Amino acid sequence: MLLLLAVTIGIGSFLYTNWLVKKMANEERKNVELWAEATQKLINTDISSNQDITFLVDIINRNTTIPIITTDGQDNILDAKNINYTEENKDRILLRELKKMKEENPRITISVSATETQYLHYRDSVLLENLKYYPLIQFAVIFLFILVAYLAFSSSRNAEQNQVWVGMSKETAHQLGTPISSLMAWVELLKMQNIDETLIREFEKDTQRLEKITERFSKIGSIPELVKTDVAETIRSTVSYLKTRSSLKVKYILDFEEQVKYEIPLNASLFSWVIENLCKNAIDAMNNMGTIQISLVEKVDQILIDVSDTGKGISKSYHKTVFQPGFTTKKRGWGLGLSLAKRIVENYHKGKIFLKQSEINKGTTFRIILQKE
């Protein structure tokens, strides 16, 4: 709406100013023609006849704004008015001005006698010249206003989104605290009973997982601590957890050596969340049946991580919006997974995450770029 309003105002102002410029140009033309007529009559007036020529002199002297040059039939300059020059640069300035005048306006003929003719050349006054540029200045001011308004709106919206993110995360962490404490107490109680230890260990793993999730949510909004961590081991442990909690028809391939280590500044808890979200989205896209491949490539100062799946793919119309809060192609969920992943990678780790490629019914690949230092 602001853009439409600005364009309307700009076009209206431009049309009005053009009309005003044309009207002023016509008025200046009439004044120059009057000046030429007065000059012609003054030249042809017999001084000895005692005629009153005061009004002719007044008409000629009244022009204090329109630059004028008078020439003879051979383009020799006879007179100049309202042009700034010095004796040193007089010829150069007047010739330059004469050229401009010939390009801007048609000359006016002054008949001095039956055999002698002079020509009056002129160009627009400074006021008229400035008026021509007024619409451009107004357009620039309107554009600047829209730009400032847009930046202010974007900043306000981002700040509001950040507050929502932080508030929701803190509240989620707070709400999870009580049931987790209860679950931990129940696990301890189960240990006292004659119950299969394998089952209890799985309960403990899930309870610890809930604690980790609560820790993740509590860190949203604060600057996480980045320590030298093996990113390959973080991926291995995350995938190991996901394997036991996803369909047996989902195959995980880690496309890097089992002993490889890439230690970079990382918050393992938050980055593990990123890998989880990408894998869970992949599992949903594959309908719990397919292959997830995670590759690691080391560059000079970066680590490249590709997470690929064999799912249904993402339509090109959604490629630019997949990381926006609320984006989802599923019937369930809030569409916050990829948005959280982007925030963790780019805001907290100063890296990049983007949709590398996706083909319908063939699969999708997301790329993460992390700095080594």
Reported as a single tens digit per residue, the pLDDT across 301-331 is 999 999 999 999 988 888 888 887 766 655 5
Band (pLDDT 50/70/90 cuts) for residue 371 is: very high
- Residue pair 354/366 in contact by the 8 Å Cβ criterion: yes
Dist. CA 332–CA 328, nearest whole Å: 8
Average of pLDDT values for 234-258? 91
The pLDDT of residue 161 is above 70: no
pLDDT of residue 56: 67
Predicted pLDDT of residue 334: 47
Please give the average per-residue pLDDT across 237-259, as a whole number: 90
Residue 287 has pLDDT above 50, yes or no: yes
Binning pLDDT at 50, 70 and 90, where does residue 47 land?
Answer: low
Cβ 355 vs Cβ 319: under 8 Å: yes
Kindly report which listed range (22-36, 87-101, 263-277, 302-316) carries the lowest average pLDDT score: 22-36
Question: What structural domains and CATH numbers belong to the chain?
Answer: 2-124 (no CATH), 224-371 (3.30.565.10)
pLDDT of residue 235: 95
DSSP type of residue 106: -
One-letter amino acid of 85: Y
Of residues 6 and 22, which shows the higher confidence score?
22
Q: What is the reported pLDDT for 86?
A: 85
Task: Give the residue ranges of DSSP H helices in 45-125.
Answer: 54-62, 90-104
Q: In this structure, which amino acid lies at residue 174?
A: H
Name the residue with tokens 């847009």. 150
pTM, two decimals, is 0.52
Give residue-wise pLDDT tens across range 95-114. 898 898 888 888 888 887 77
Q: What is the structure's pLDDT at 329? A: 59
Question: How confident is the model over 126-154, as a mean pLDDT?
Answer: 79
Residue 163 or residue 259, greater confidence: 259
3 state SS of 357: strand
Burial class (CB in 10 A: 0-12, 13-18, 19+), 51: exposed
Report the candidate in 289, 271, 277 with the shortest Cα–Cα distance to residue 370: 271
Q: Span 274-299, mean pLDDT?
A: 93
The residue behind tokens 């051979």 is 74
Average pLDDT over the chain, rounded to an integer = 83
pLDDT tens for each residue of 334-362: 456 788 889 889 988 999 999 999 999 99
pLDDT at 113: 76
**Pairing, β 290-298 against β 250-255:** parallel
User: Which amino acid makes up residue 35?
Assistant: W
